[in-house]
Amino acid sequence: MKNAEWIKRSEDAFIGTYNRFPAAMVRGSGCRLWDADGKEYLDFLAGIAVCSLGHCHPKVTEAICRQAGTLVHVSNLFHTPPQIELAELLVANSFADRVFMCNSGAEANEAAIKLARIHSSQGRYEIIALAGSFHGRTLATVAATGQPKFHQGFEPLPQGFIHAEFGDPQAIEKLISPRTCAILCEPLQGESGVRPLDPEYLRAIRSICDQHGLLLIFDEVQTGLGRTGTLFAHEQLGVTPDIMTLAKALGNGLPIGAMLTTDKIAASLTVGSHASTFGGNPVAAAAAVEVLTVLLSDGFLDSVQEKSRYFVTRLEALAEQYPHLAGGVRGAGLLLGLVLTEQGIEQGAAIVAQMFEQGALINFAGNRVLRFVPPLIVSKEEIDQLVGKLRSVFDQFS
């Protein structure tokens, strides 16, 4: 069956919540995808920063198949070995002592919100988030998200979320009240245009939390698990959170999320206070164990940093060649954005569409940058291919 037939069937069956590319993807391997018409794509989206080990990584695939033939689901009424192994790996390689498992980044953030509220004294329920943030699509995480476009039509939103101006610690201080229990932020904002939070800014946020007895929650759903060149982005920034959320790359495509915290804070969630039927199910957990094993293997994260430096150099050269379209590069590791000029912004969506025609997948984030989140296994040759295609497209808009 060809693309057109699959697309027609899709449009006849689904609620129209997605603006999809005109392709039905049927196969993936490494950094490549193929659609139903047989066209090949160089994938620098990775399922929106999910398939960090590439499509159908052999070790992850083997773990999924092995576990699917052994035990798929029993719920969290029972202990399961893959889930336990995953929790031990997360604890051993992070600041945390305890883990709660769920199915997505939004659910992980919901768990963090509930934990922050129940851990804090009565009457303290308000969470300060940042303008430009993105924390999920559930009602609570939409309310936490600092982008009004995601709020429209869903009002009234749940109470208890306020937003501070990005980059200004004093703006946060002014919002603190006797109701405040936590500050929630991403170490690097991905959806609003690949905006890193300055280390000094994050250290100031940590200091504010300490001074006022607030919890610091890091949403590392997109930045965690090697994406920025270390296992967690905050490791590079000299700031440790009280609670951290993970998802996306954790299962390399299988839905799984996690909330991590310390013994002291975790004690506030007791039996029956929170749950997830499918959270950390054996198949997803088995995949995640393999993902972490690969990420933690000798030299893997060093290679991400090396490829990041190479990619940044290539993108900076492109920006110099086309100054009317691009003004520079920002981000960390292999979460990078090519910042567009005002002229480039006008063409941003069209550039992405032309790259798709050229057989390369990227996206336009925050109406400001071309975002690149390739699998962490991407090669320098594939980076060269991507930049070559982008140069060809830029020529069309010059």
- Binding-site members for N(2)-acetyl-L-ornithine are 137, 276
Closest CA to 227 of 56, 47, 385: 47
8 Å CB contact between 319 and 140: no
Euclidean distance between the first and the last CA atom of the chain, given in angstroms as a whole number: 38
Residue 132 φ/ψ, nearest 5 degrees: 90, -5
| Residue 61, SS3 per DSSP | helix
Q: What is the largest CA-CA distance in the chain?
A: 61
Alpha helices (H) along the chain = 3-13, 46-49, 58-68, 81-92, 105-119, 139-144, 169-175, 199-212, 263-266, 282-295, 300-321, 342-357, 380-396
> Token pair for residue 380?
């320098």
Cα separations in angstroms, 295 against 90, 93, 371, 375: 12, 11, 22, 12
Evaluate whether 93 touches 230 at the Cβ level (below 8 Å). no
How far is the C-alpha of 113 from the C-alpha of 102, rounded, in Å? 14
Which residue ranges make up the annotated binding site for pyridoxal 5'-phosphate?
Answer: 105-106, 134, 219-222, 277
Distance, C-alpha 215 to centroid of its chain: 21
Closest alpha carbon to 169 in 111, 226, 209: 209
Residue ranges for the known binding site are 105-106, 134, 137, 219-222, 276-277
- H-assigned helices in 76-127: 81-92, 105-119
Q: What are phi and psi of 124, to 5 degrees?
A: -105, 105
Please state, in angstroms and rounded to a whole number, the distance separating the CA atoms of residues 60 and 30: 12
Angle at 108 between CA 218 and CA 171, to 5 degrees: 35
